């Protein structure tokens, strides 16, 4: 059964407490939280203080996706704010191995995110150190974009790499996930589906989360 992680980027920030409660009561497994710095990506969202406030109401794990340069400067801050899984971009990590070790030493699961143009085989020598690999299926920065088809090949390739080296990382897909492509993504090998617009743009977000969860059953 897949893990469903609604992206709070598409939530109504004015009613954040209610949106969190909706996720708490839904079939969703995690909260996906998109942190953007206006430098690594052309958008700015929220940071530690907002995440810490959300943590007081949330009853499911926080999957924090850092779209920031020099992420290592803030690992401790995100640990204190309540991140359970902390993911850095491959493209923003000069010392990826060190970053993963520090994230784990702070008691969090460590994730690595690949942009659409970054090949999965670049992770060959580090896969067994990673708890979660997130494949971007849109260019990071905004919700509501169209799924990039090439991602399906990357999922299959990554799954094969994982089998070959006996690693245990979860495979997460982020961007353009819909009720129409969810089944196909799971068949390719995805373990975690992030969904922003599909959930929060729906007339009934709770029902949509239930549908995503049912697709993976």
Query: Which range binds ligand DX5 by CB under 6 A, 13-21, 153-161, 168-176, 180-188?
Result: 168-176
For this structure, is 34 an active site residue?
yes
Catalytic residue among 37, 63, 131, 174: 174
Q: Which does 162 bind (CB under 5 to 8 A by kind): Zn ion, ligand DX5, none?
A: none
- Of the residues 34, 63, 172, 191, which one makes contact with Zn ion according to CB under 5 A: 34
* Interactions with ligand DX5, residue window 20-79 (CB under 6 A): 32, 34, 65
Residue 174 appears among annotated catalytic residues: yes
Q: Give CA–CA dist 184/122, Å, rounded.
A: 25
**From candidates 174, 185, 189, 205, binder to Zn ion by CB under 5 A:** 174
Among 36, 55, 65, 135, binds Zn ion (CB under 5 A): 65
Any contact of residue 89 with ligand DX5 (CB under 6 A)?
no
Least distance between Zn ion and beta carbon 164 (Å): 27
Helices assigned H by DSSP within the chain? 16-25, 48-55, 75-81, 96-105, 151-165, 182-188, 197-200, 205-215
Judge whether 133 and 170 are in contact, CB under 8 Å.
Answer: yes
Asked if 174 touches ligand DX5 (CB under 6 A), the answer is yes
* Beta carbon nearer to ligand DX5, 46 or 167: 46
What is the closest distance, in whole angstroms, from the C-beta atom of residue 36 to Zn ion in the complex? Answer: 9
150, two tokens: 């090439």
70: CB partners within 8 A, 6+ apart: 92
Burial class, 75, CB count within 10 angstroms (exposed 0-12 / middle 13-18 / buried 19+): buried
Spell out the residues 6+ positions from residue 112 whose beta carbon is closer than 8 angstroms to its own: 87, 88, 89, 90, 93, 96, 100, 123, 126, 130, 132, 133, 134
Name the residues that contact ligand DX5, by CB under 6 A. Answer: 7, 9-10, 32, 34, 65, 138, 140-141, 143-145, 174-177, 194-198
Q: Tell me which residues are annotated as active site.
A: 34, 174
Chain residues that interact with Zn ion, rule: CB under 5 A: 34, 65, 174
């Amino acid at each position: 059964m897949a893990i469903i992680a609604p992206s709070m980027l598409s939530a109504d920030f004015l009613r954040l407490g209610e949106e969190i409660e909706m996720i708490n009561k839904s079939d969703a497994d995690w909260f996906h939280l998109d942190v953007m710095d206006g430098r690594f990506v052309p958008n700015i969202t929220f940071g530690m203080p907002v995440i810490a406030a959300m943590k007081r109401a949330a009853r499911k794990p926080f999957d924090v996706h850092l779209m920031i340069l020099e992420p290592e400067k803030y690992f401790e801050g995100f640990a204190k704010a309540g991140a359970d899984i902390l993911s850095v971009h491959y493209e923003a990590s000069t010392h990826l191995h060190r970053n993963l070790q520090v994230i784990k030493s702070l008691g969090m699961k460590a994730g690595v995110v690949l942009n659409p143009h970054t090949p999965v085989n670049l992770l060959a020598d580090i896969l067994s150190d990673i708890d979660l690999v997130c494949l971007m299926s849109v260019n990071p920065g905004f919700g509501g974009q169209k799924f990039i088809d090439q991602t399906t090949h990357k999922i299959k390739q990554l799954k094969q790499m994982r089998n070959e080296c006996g690693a245990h990382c979860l495979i997460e897909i982020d961007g353009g996930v819909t009720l129409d492509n969810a089944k196909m993504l799971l068949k390719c090998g995805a373990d975690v589906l992030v969904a922003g617009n599909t959930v929060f743009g729906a007339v009934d977000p709770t029902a949509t989360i239930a549908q995503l969860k049912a697709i993976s059953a």
